[in-house]
Amino acid sequence: MPYEALTLSTRAPVLSWAGHELGHTEAQMARNVAALPFVFKHVALMPDVHLGKGALVGSVVATQDAIIPAAIGVDIGCGMAAIKTPYNATQLEGKLKQIRLDIEAAIPTGFNENKEIEKTVLNWQGWQQFKQLHPGVENLESKALKQMGSLGGGNHFIEVCLDAEEQVWLMLHSGSRHIGNALAQRHIDTAKGLAKLAGEKLPDPDLAYFVRGTAEFAAYWHDLQWAQGYALYNRKVMLLRFQRIVDRHLAGGKPMKPLLEVNCHHNYAERELHFGEEVYVTRKGAVRARETDYGIIPGSMGAKSFIVKGKGNAHSYCSCSHGAGRLMSRNKAKTAFTLDDLIAQTAGVECRKDAGVLDEIPGAYKPIEQVMANQSDLVEIVATLKQVVCVKG
């Protein structure tokens, strides 16, 4: 679907792939971002766009000489990882529940962390830079080590999926855990403090920013890249552990060779070239989708997910959606749906079916098929997946 240029009377235009009119609060949030003097060219809204903090989730913001910490968010480097295996559906028969139980035993979820630190974790080169991170996180190194290879909570998940050819895929969603949150919060507080000290009137306090060339900008950019590296490696550690479990059940423990591997962020910022200029691109709930990029767009825990390849659409800053996007808040979902609804909507999926995951019910999310239809000019679908096992954070 081609984008729509929204009529918001802003300094920078807002281009939307949402396919629907924004709500009042959503429109104001888009207006606030597009009004900032350092926003480059335009703001791009993905098909799964919805309310966030400071900036909309599902927005792509390119900036010159400035960066907005809260626009990236507190789960720095949150993203997806997946591998296509040589296994097929028949090999899974009768094994789904035990695979789920083994995943839950091997990979900590929620606030849990690993009791032991494995060698793979210690091999990450980022640990050498830990002492150069923001003052105040020194005492978090042990926690960061133990949380490497853990899922977290909220909408994070681990899934065994099947594609249209009945081939088995392993997929998961996670980010930079507590250390990423701690770093983000400290820098957000610093940015807000600077804005207050300067007497700057921002359209939203959460749009406080750092200016390139300042010590604060340099410190944030360093910690941002570190946390993004942590998140990427965190997914790699979990995927290796996940693969060992599936190999044990389907191949007697013999390691398989993945047919395709994808590991991509959807909450992050990078320095990129767009429209002939180098800019800082913040993707808050969006995946990079250059022509050479593979990406992952998950649905809900009862819906399809998609492995995609980018089309390099310049107007979206070579980006696409990061998922279906929430249709309602977590609190609203808990009151709008019952446990019976959850059981019905996750039929055929080996997963928890209790009140603790009711806020993640498929009905709380936008229809993923419509989201995909709205971004046919951003990505091509490589594989369509349906989960048979789902472990929630």
Extract the annotated binding site for Mn(2+): 75, 156, 173, 266
Angstrom distances, CA of residue 33 to CA of 26, 208, 296, 318, 371: 11, 11, 26, 19, 23
Q: Which is it for strands 157-162 and 167-174: parallel, antiparallel or unpaired?
A: antiparallel
Binding residues for GMP: 155-159, 266-267, 298-301, 305, 322-325, 392
CA diameter of the chain:
65
Helix (H) or strand (E) holding 382: strand 379-392
Closest listed residue to residue 299, CA positions, set 226, 230, 362, 356: 362
Name the 3-class secondary structure at 245.
Answer: helix
- The C-alpha atoms of residue 293 and residue 311 are separated, in whole angstroms, by 9
- Phi and psi at residue 166, to the nearest 5°: 65, 25
With both helix axes pointing from N to C terminus, report the angle between 215-251 and 96-106 in degrees, rounded to the nearest 10.
140
Active site residue 178: no
Task: Out of 187, 265, 315, 322, pick the active-site residue.
Answer: 322
Question: Three-state SS for 323?
Answer: coil
CA distance 196 to 55: 19
Taking Cα atoms as reference points, which of 109, 122, 267 lies closest to residue 180?
267
Q: How many residues does the chain have?
A: 393
Residues within the annotated binding site?
75, 155-159, 173, 266-267, 298-301, 305, 322-325, 392
Active site residues: 322
